[in-house]
Amino acid sequence: MRAIVLDIEGTTTPVAFVRDTLVPYARRELRPYLDSEEEPRIRSMAADFHREHARNAPDSVDVPESRDTTAAEQRDAIVGYVTWLMDRDRKSTALKALQGRIWEKGYTSGQLVAPVYDDVPVALQRWREQGLGTGIFSSGSVLAQQLLFRHSSAGDLTPFLQWHFDTTVGAKTEAGSYRRIGSAVGMPPSEIVFISDVVSELNAAREAGWQTILCHRPGEPAPEEQDTHPVIRSFDEFR
């Protein structure tokens, strides 16, 4: 084992923080954030969402129409589409990028502080002392990941993290995503460990040749039954 890649939600950080704090914050601040952005950024975001809208439209008849007109109308289209995505918990790369920029304001102003489990900073320190590389693979954007660990309840943990990967490398349930991460970190797949609370993600990592560990934190929903991945309830159990 030379590297450890971690999921975030339910693994390093309680699910409730994302569900009850981050997502509501993004909803509340969406319109003010868009109103504060200059027209070139709005047009760039509108183009990103328009491409996603085109892919979703065939099987999603209630997707708000995307309109390529004035900046004000594009803001309206973005709000409608982003709300549609959040209502359905879609793992949209464009959505995650926008949420990250919205959350940045909350973190830097002190409105948001990300809780991490008590064993997380201890484990990150231990793994660094052991010479292991440590990174993150999350559906949240790289910016959102960096903000969360920079403004954590344990202080700035970013110095312990060498890599950040989001869904620009592919979905977390696809083996190809893990192969691409392995190539990026330059290590054989058998020397990389992925820790997550989602069995389907672990299955994809295992298919790519990675070692895998299922993390079931006390108080979080029980994962689906499986007998493929070793189970831990704290990083203290993984040494």
Q: Are residues 70 and 131 in the same domain?
A: no
Q: Are residues 142 and 222 in the same domain?
A: yes
Helices (H), the chain: 15-17, 23-36, 39-56, 71-87, 93-108, 119-129, 142-150, 175-185, 199-207
Q: Are residues 125 and 97 in the same domain?
A: no
Closest CA to 199 of 220, 173, 178, 171: 173
Task: Tell me which H or E stretch contains 4.
Answer: strand 3-6
Provide the pLDDT for residue 66.
53
Q: Are residues 90 and 149 in the same domain?
A: no
Q: 62-91: per-residue pLDDT in tens?
A: 455 555 578 888 888 889 888 988 988 888
What are the b/e assignments for 61-89, b being 16+ CB within 10 Å? eebbebeeeebeebbbbbebbbebbbeee
Q: Are residues 124 and 164 in the same domain?
A: yes
Q: Are residues 127 and 97 in the same domain?
A: no
Low-confidence ranges of the chain (pLDDT < 50): 61-62
**In contact, 217 and 197? CB cutoff 8 Å:** yes
Q: Are residues 117 and 222 in the same domain?
A: yes
Among the candidates 49, 82, 108, a domain finishes at 108
Provide the pLDDT for residue 67.
57
> Which residue range forms the structural domain that includes residue 198?
3-14+113-237
DSSP state of 226: -
Identify the CATH number of the domain in which residue 160 sits: 3.40.50.1000
Using H for helix, E for strand and C for coil, what is the string for 30-64?
HHHHHHHCCHHHHHHHHHHHHHHHHHHHHHCCCCC
Among the candidates 78, 108, 138, a domain finishes at 108
Identify the CATH number of the domain in which residue 25 sits: 1.10.720
Total structural domains in the chain? Answer: 2
Amino acid letter, 177 = S
| Token representation of residue 43 | 């047009």
Q: Are residues 172 and 139 in the same domain?
A: yes
Q: Are residues 194 and 139 in the same domain?
A: yes
pTM of the predicted structure, to 2 decimals: 0.89
User: How far apart (Å, rounded) are the C-alpha atoms in residues 114 and 236?
Assistant: 20
Provide the pLDDT for residue 224.
86
Among the candidates 81, 108, 135, a domain finishes at 108
Q: Are residues 121 and 185 in the same domain?
A: yes
Q: Are residues 76 and 120 in the same domain?
A: no
